Structure 1
Amino acid sequence: MVYSQPHVYATIFALSVLKACALDSYIAAVYEHSVILSEDTKIPVSPEDALMLMNKNMDVLKGAIKAAALQGARIIVTPEDGIYGWVFTRETIYPYLEDIPDPQVNWIPCTDPDRFAPAPVQERLSCMARSNAIYVVANIGDKKPCNSSDPKCPSDGHYQYNTDVVFDSEGKLVARYHKYNLFVTETQFDYPKEPEFVTFNTSFGKFGIFTCADILFHDPAVVLVSKLQVDTVLFPTAWVNTLPLLSASQFHSAWAMGMGINFLSANTRNSSLDMTGSGIYAPNGPRAFHYNTETENGHLLVVELSSHPRLSPTYPIAVNWSSYATSIKRFSPDDRNFSGVIYFDKFTFTELTKPEGNRTVCQKDLCCHLSYRMVEKQEDEVYVLGAFDGLHVVEGEYYLQICTLLKCKSTNLKTCGQPVATAHTSFDTFSLSGTFGTSYIFPEVLLTGVQLAPGEFQVLSDGRLISQNGTSKPILTVTLFGRWYEKDPP
């Protein structure tokens, strides 16, 4: 095809405009929300009562969205279950659900609320986005009718999905994602038949979205980053903190670093379920994070991020996670090893009996090497080096390879691996590495009070997680958390 000269000039002009409009950075926001809950989720309510509860939560979210927009935020993420709560049955969640159309319908609920079935929640979220000129990410429930010709159609005649929605700054629905890896307690929802890989483009980068437990599995999380090359992942979650290795800020920050992307994580706040920990994370460390166990208040985080982190001069170097560990001899004999349990997984531990030294502990094909020097080791505190190489089988099945330095709950070695939130022993230096069989490793450093350590450690290209100048606070854990997706059961 031969284009006319005016057509060529018009194309060049359009590309120039797009380039000029593209932003090198943007301001992001996440809101940790203390959800207003139903008094009894086992008793069905009317659609009117359901909407009344959801409006109470959306009243709070409206304030957070406005505050974020006033600080220049282009996008805000709100938590999973943030509009109606959790622990429903199929029957009792139904009044809270709306039929959410495919975004290809090009719909702005705020200006055209009657185009589809009644959708007051989508309408209100759309108006929040439009009136504040900000992208709004929220988690609601989707319902889809089905019939007997579909062999997987539930007996009540409809599918129910845990669903993320995104409305752009004009209020248009631009993304809809059905959660694929449901948590074991989410019996009110159905699994989508296939994982969905949802992305959308903006003038400030390419975005992908998934929810809570999705982060533990290959689909859709790894595909979005590795194959679809998103710049930023949006992550509504209702994450129960699980120390010592899976507290929210700890693991989500590590995942962002290990995958090399921006990660916007909005958690709920609920003390009875130990839910807190939200953050805005970049490939080279957290930009802002929040962990609060003192009050039930919500909390807004707002910070600037690179739109295209892979193009940033500070983008982390490529890492061969097993290079160093496979090149050296084992540091120490294994004659003092013992077993302990972390989140149902049986680790092999060795105690750090001296204030400094070199230790190795192995399990199956994984050997973990540690060099360290403590500062004023406390007599009533015990630290161990642990290794786990195996299939995790509780609340989901997935294959792990983990090397971890951690503080035990007490001087009794049987407590090693149990949750602990405070420590008094500092480390002047540490270097942790492992003979990993996977390249998906997430580096974690967690300090006393369940706080992160931005800028206080680094990952070397040969796979060592090191700190040469110590950390600002005593250490709870230093971990290389590996996921070997190829070994997951079908």
Structure 2
Amino acid sequence: MDKQMFIEGRKFEKHKQDDRRCLKLLAAFAIIVFSVVGSVVQIQMFWLTTGEKVSVRAPSVKSFRVGVFEKKLVSVKNAKTRKEAMVAIHENLAHIERQAKIAHEQGVSFLVLPEYGITGEMPEHFNERSSLYPYMEQVPAVSMSHPACINCKWMHHGVEGQASIGCMALKYDMYILANLVESVPCDIKLDSLCPSDHHYQYSTNIVYDPQGCLVAKYRKYYLIGEESAKFDRPSEPMHVYFDTNYGRFGTMTSMDALFAEPGIGLVEKFAIDHLLLPIYWKSISVYQQAVNWQIAFSTKNNINLIAANVYNPARNIFGSSILCGPRVVNITSQTNSSSGILLTGDLPSNKPLARQQAVSLKDCSIDTSSNNLMTETVIIDGDIFDAIVLQGLNGTAKVCQNTTCCQVKYTRNATKDTYIVSAFQGMHSSLPQLASEICLVSKCQNETLSSCGNNEVTTSTTFSHLTLSASISVQHIYPIVLPFDNDYKSHLNWTFRQCAPKNAVVSSSKWPVVALGMVGRDFAKDSFI
């Protein structure tokens, strides 16, 4: 093992003149300590610091280009050794580098990779905690004063994933976010929470800058289903962000976006401009699909969002985006690809300006009188909704469940398709168990109500006017929009407005809408262990 796998020191000073770069490094040494976990040799790195403090703020630029690689994962079942695991890791890294080169040629400054993008599909192929051992890497601490920078001239045994990402960032002059399995040794004699195998293992995001230096490290907090048996989670959600000349970036992972923290804290307390979100997200219900939840999050919080999903459309796992608040800059659709899809798009360096919402305040109010329409029971994604079928070419309908009330006003061109307006208040019946209040207008696959609210994406109906108002007992309300054939880029005629802390309206016009809704999240009542 070579001792100078990483260089710690001052960040590179970049000068672009005639396409040449002047690199200035302050070298340091790394002390390597070997330990054994199961049958896997692990590496612990201690950094001997030299160098100077680094300025974390550079002059701002107006806009920049980002890239998202929605990647088809290469996985190896039942790897027992690092050598066996490296079969998948090397192939995934080779795919990533090909796309990084293309992204560089297209002027990309930030590239985001999906969850498990280096290792392969952890939730599906790995059943025990010990099955992650061959994939684990120890990641150094993030230090702005003495950053850990990759030395690409040396071999990187045991840390091939992060080293490759750091060298790609340096080689292609960009920031790269990747997700990997991190190992953190602990002593059960000193740490009462230390697992019996003497280390923590986290699903960790790492971000390397264009100088090959580690600038951010985030450990996933919300582990759903089988993940909780294999990964540990930090004692509390981490608020991880870093400053660049493109603005302030935060990061979290996948289902973290469904909960209060760290997302709300990053937006409200730490004022991020952009969120980097690697995900492994299977779309099931119309109100919790990958892309429409990304749009809901960026619209509600008025930030730029760069989300990278895994590419596996056969299992309904796909959907990545580049978003500027409610505006879709670029988005993936279910297409045929052998290795995945590279998206690129330009974003402003500062968070988007709040879009003026052309919605009347009176539309936020709910008519309390009875509408004399029959209420039906509909099951959507295992949850029991109260629903009313929309009748005629135009009209008004209202439905309530407990204290959650939803009212729709509509004008449409035909009545061939069956649409319902529905309300739900309670705990989601399957994982993740989220306490929610939902108002939803959705198309049914046929005339039977049991077909409503599924992953339908086609419609022959165009609404010249569709307004859904919600009276919800919580203040965190997220808009849900599902257009015909998932064509978000062509259809922009929708608005969202939260008129009061607990009242909101989402509206569309001249648009073939499959579903339109709002999800109010009661974070304090979530059932999560």
Same fold by TM (over 0.5)? yes
Distance in 1 between residues matched to 2:118 and 2:465, nearest whole Å: 45
Name the SS of the counterpart of 2:457 in structure 1: coil
- Asked whether the 8 Å contact 2:57–2:244 carries over to 1, the reply is no
Does structure 1 residue 166 correspond to structure 2 residue 207? yes
In 1: Cα distance, 2:226 partner to 2:314 partner: 16
- The one-letter code sitting in structure 1 at the alignment partner of 2:73 is V
1:337-376 aligned within 5 A: 337-376=375-414
Deviation per residue, 1:368-399 (Å, 9 max, x gap): 11100111232xx2100011122224212322
Name the SS of the counterpart of 1:452 in structure 2: coil
Deviation for aligned residue 1:327 = 3.4
> What is the CA–CA distance in structure 1 between the aligned matches of 2:337 and 2:62, rounded to whole Å?
37
Question: Matched residues in 2 for 1:92 and 1:285: separation?
Answer: 41
TM-score (norm 1): 0.88
Cα distance in 1 between the residues matched to 2:497 and 2:261:
28
Residue equivalent to 1:11: none
| Selected match of 1:100 from 133, 139, 161 | 139
Paired residue type of 2:412: M
Contact 1:180–1:214 under 8 Å retained in 2: yes
Q: Structure 2: 5+ residue runs without aligned partners?
A: 1-54
Q: Residue 434 of structure 2 aligns with which residue?
A: 398
Q: Secondary structure at the match of 1:153?
A: coil
Question: Which position in structure 2 is the counterpart of 1:90?
Answer: 129
**1:24 Cα deviation after fit:** 1.9
SS in 2 for 1:180: coil
TM-score norm. by structure 2 comes to 0.82
- Deviation of 1:18 after TM superposition, in Å, equals 10
In the TM superposition, 1:326-345 aligns within 5 A as 327-330=365-368, 332-333=370-371, 335-345=373-383
C-alpha offsets along residues 294-333 of structure 1, whole Å, 9 cap, x if unaligned? 44441111111111125x4xx2359999x64663424752
* Cα distance in 2 for residues equivalent to 1:55 and 1:122: 12
Does 2:217 correspond to 1:179? no
> Letter of the aligned partner of 2:268 in structure 1?
S
Question: What is aligned with 2:107?
Answer: 72
Distance in 2 of aligned mates of 1:369 and 1:222 = 28
Q: Is the 8 Å Cα contact of residues 334 and 360 (structure 1) preserved in structure 2?
A: no
Say whether the 8 Å CA contact 1:377–1:426 is kept in structure 2.
no
- Give the drift of 1:439: 2.6
1:247: which partner in 2?
A: 289
* 1:455 and 2:492 correspond: yes
Contact 2:365 2:469 in 1 (8 A): no
| 1:353 to partner: Cα distance | 1.9
Q: How far 1:209 moved relative to its partner?
A: 0.3
Normalized per residue, the structure richer in helix is 1
- What is the alpha-carbon distance in structure 1 between the residues aligned to residue 338 and residue 469 of structure 2? 38
Sequence identity, in percent? Answer: 29
Superposed CA deviations along residues 94-142 of structure 1, whole A, max 9, x for unmatched, are 111100111125111234868x984121111100000011000001110
Q: Secondary structure at the match of 1:56?
A: helix
The answer (yes or no) to whether the contact 1:320–1:461 under 8 Å persists in 2 is no
Going from structure 1 to structure 2, the CA distance change for 1:376 and 1:433 (only over 3 Å counts) comes to same
- Aligned with 2:284: secondary structure? coil
> Which residue is 1:302 aligned to?
344
- 1:107 is aligned with what amino acid? A
Give the letter for the 2:371 counterpart: P
Moved more, 84-93 or 22-31: 84-93
- The question of 1:62 aligning with 2:97 is answered yes
Residue matched to 2:456: 420
- 1:173 CA drift (Å): 0.5
- Does 1:280 find its partner at 2:322? yes
Per the alignment, residue 478 of structure 1 pairs with: 516
Question: What is the deviation of 1:437?
Answer: 2.3
Aligned to 1:132: 172
How far apart are residue 20 of structure 1 and its match?
A: 8.2
RMSD (Å), alpha carbons: 2.4
SS state of the match for residue 84, structure 1?
coil
Q: 2:60 aligns with which of 19, 22, 34?
A: 22
Structure 1, 326-335 or 180-189: larger mean CA deviation? 326-335
Shift of 1:273: 2.0
> What is the SS of the residue equivalent to 1:464?
strand
Residue aligned with 1:29, SS:
strand
Instruction: Return the offset for 1:290.
Output: 0.6
Letter matched to residue 459 of structure 1 = F
- Distance in 2, matches of 1:331 and 1:70, equals 61
Aligned counterpart, 2:47: none
Q: Secondary structure at the match of 2:138?
A: coil
Counterpart in 2 of 1:430? 466
**Does 1:144 pair with 2:177?**
no
Gaps of 5+ in 1: 1-16
Name the aligned partner's letter for residue 236 of structure 1. P
Q: Write the letter of the residue equivalent to 1:284.
A: P
Work out which of the residue numbers 41, 45, 51 in structure 1 matches 2:86.
51
Name which of 97, 112, 121 aligns with 2:161.
Answer: 121
